[in-house]
Structure 1
Amino acid sequence: MTIYKKEDPRSIRSKEMIKNAVFELLAENHSVSDLTIKKITTKANLNRTTFYLHYQDIQDLLAQIADELLNSLSEKITALTHTKDLSEKQKLTQMLDNLYAHRIYLLRLFSMDDFEEQLFGMLKHLVETRRDNSHTDLPEDYVTVEIKTASLVGIIMWWIRNGLQYSSEYIAKQISLLYRG
C-alpha cells in the first residue's frame, strides 16, 4: 500500500514564489540564459538554501516550469478535443488563446532544448485525435500527421515570436484556410 504525503504548504508557497520570480524576470526581458539563482532568490525574497530544497539547479527549475506549463496546456487542449458544442475553428481559437495567455513564458521557453519537441508531441497528439474523431477515410496521399504538426508548430512559434499583432481568431482562420486546401 502506497502512502501519499501531503506537501507542506510552506513548500508549496516557496515553489510558487520561486516560479513567480522566474516569470517576473522573464517578463522584464531577461533571457533564460541570464537567469541566476541569485537573481531568482532575490526577486522571490528567499535564500539560496530554500531554492536548493526544491531544485537541483536552474535547469531543473526551468524543466519543471516547462513541464507544468505544457501539462496545463495539454489538459486544456484535451478538454477542447472532447468538447462537442464548438466548431473546429472555435476549438483552435481557444487553443491559441491559451497559448497567447502564456506567450511571454513560451517565447522564453522556446529557447530551451526540449521545449519545442514537447510542444510538437502535444500538438501531434491533438492532430491524431482530430483525425481519429473525423471517421473519414483519408486518401493515401494525404498530408502526414508529422508534416501537419510541424507546420502548426511553425505557425504558432512564428505567431508568438513575430506576429502577436494578429488575434488568435485571425490565426485560427488562417490555419483553417491553409488546411482546407
Structure 2
Amino acid sequence: MPVNPNDPRVSRTRQFIMQAFTELVEEQKNVYSISVQDITTRANINRATFYAHFDDKYVFLECWISRKFQILLMEALPQGRITGIGSLRAVVQTVFDVLARFRQYMVHPGNSRFEPLFEVAMQKELYHLLREWLNEESTGAPDKVETTALVASWGIFGAALQWSRDQQNRTSETMVPHVLEVAAAALATVLEE
C-alpha cells in the first residue's frame, strides 16, 4: 500500500531516513558504500519501512539530493523565492557552491556512478525554481516561459558543472557574475513581456 505523503508520520519518517543518510555521508564521504541496511539501522527503522517510502536506493538518492538542494536554495533566498536579479545572483552562487562541495564527494571510488543522478536532480530543481519565478513575473506564452526556464537552468547548471570539474584557477566569484549576466539576458526576453 502506498504511503500518504500528507500524513505527518510519513513526513517524519522520511526526515529520519534523510537525516540518517546525511550523517552517514558526512562520516564516511562515500555514498557508494552506504547500504540501505546502514541507513535503516541509523534511522532506527526496518527495511520494509524504507521500501514503503522509496523503491530503491537510487530513487532515495534522487529524492535526497533534490531535498538538500531545495533547502540550500531556500536558505540563499531571503523570501524563499526569486524576486529579482539580486536573488537570482544568490541562486547562481548557490549552484556553484553546491557543485564545488559535491565534487569533494565524487573523488571516492564508486561515487562517480551517482554523479549523473545527482546532476539531473539538481538541474530539475533549478528549472522548477526558475519556471515558478517566470510564471509569476511574466505574461508570456507558457511554452516560451517553460523553454526559457529550461535553457536558463541548463545554462546556469552547465556552466557551474563544467567549472566544478575543471576550475583552472578560476574562483566561483569570478565565474558567477559572467554566468549571471548571460542568464539574466536569456530570462529578460520573457520577463519584459
Question: Shorter-chain TM-score: what band?
Answer: 0.5 to 0.7
Please list the CA deviations of residues 75-129 of structure 1 after superposition, one character each: whole Å capped at 9, or x if unmatched.
666845325xxxx2x3343113433258439977642174265146336627956
Report the CA distance shift for 1:51/1:119 in structure 2 as closer, same or farther (over 3 A): closer
TM-score (norm 1): 0.57
Gaps of 5+ in 1: 136-143
Q: Contact 1:81/1:91 (CA < 8 Å) preserved in 2? A: yes
Q: Contact 2:73/2:91 (CA < 8 Å) preserved in 1? A: no
- One-letter amino acid of the counterpart of residue 37, structure 2: K
Gaps of 5+ in 2: 141-146, 186-193
Secondary structure of the equivalent of 1:125?
helix
Aligned to 1:152: 156
Q: Contact 2:17/2:40 (CA < 8 Å) preserved in 1? A: yes
Report the CA distance shift for 1:129/1:167 in structure 2 as closer, same or farther (over 3 A): farther
For residue 18 of structure 1, report the CA deviation from its aligned partner.
1.7
Return the alpha-carbon distance in structure 1 between the equivalents of residues 18 and 115 of structure 2: 17
Return the alpha-carbon distance in structure 2 between the equivalents of residues 96 and 157 of structure 1: 12
Kindly report which structure 2 residues correspond to 1:56-67, keeping only aligned pairs within 5 A, or say none. 56-67=55-66
Aligned to 1:8: 9
Number of aligned residue pairs: give it: 161
Q: Does 1:112 align with 2:117?
A: yes
Secondary structure of the equivalent of 1:21?
helix
Return the alpha-carbon distance in structure 1 between the equivalents of residues 115 and 136 of structure 2: 25
Q: CA RMSD in A?
A: 4.6
TM-score (norm 2): 0.54
For residue 131 of structure 1, report the CA deviation from its aligned partner.
9.1
Aligned to 2:92: 96
Secondary structure of the equivalent of 1:112?
helix
Q: Contact 1:22/1:40 (CA < 8 Å) preserved in 2? A: yes
Q: Contact 1:21/1:44 (CA < 8 Å) preserved in 2? A: yes
Please list the CA deviations of residues 42-64 of structure 1 after superposition, one character each: whole Å capped at 9, or x if unmatched.
34344324423433322332233
Highest Rg: 1 or 2? 1
Q: Contact 2:36/2:47 (CA < 8 Å) preserved in 1? A: yes
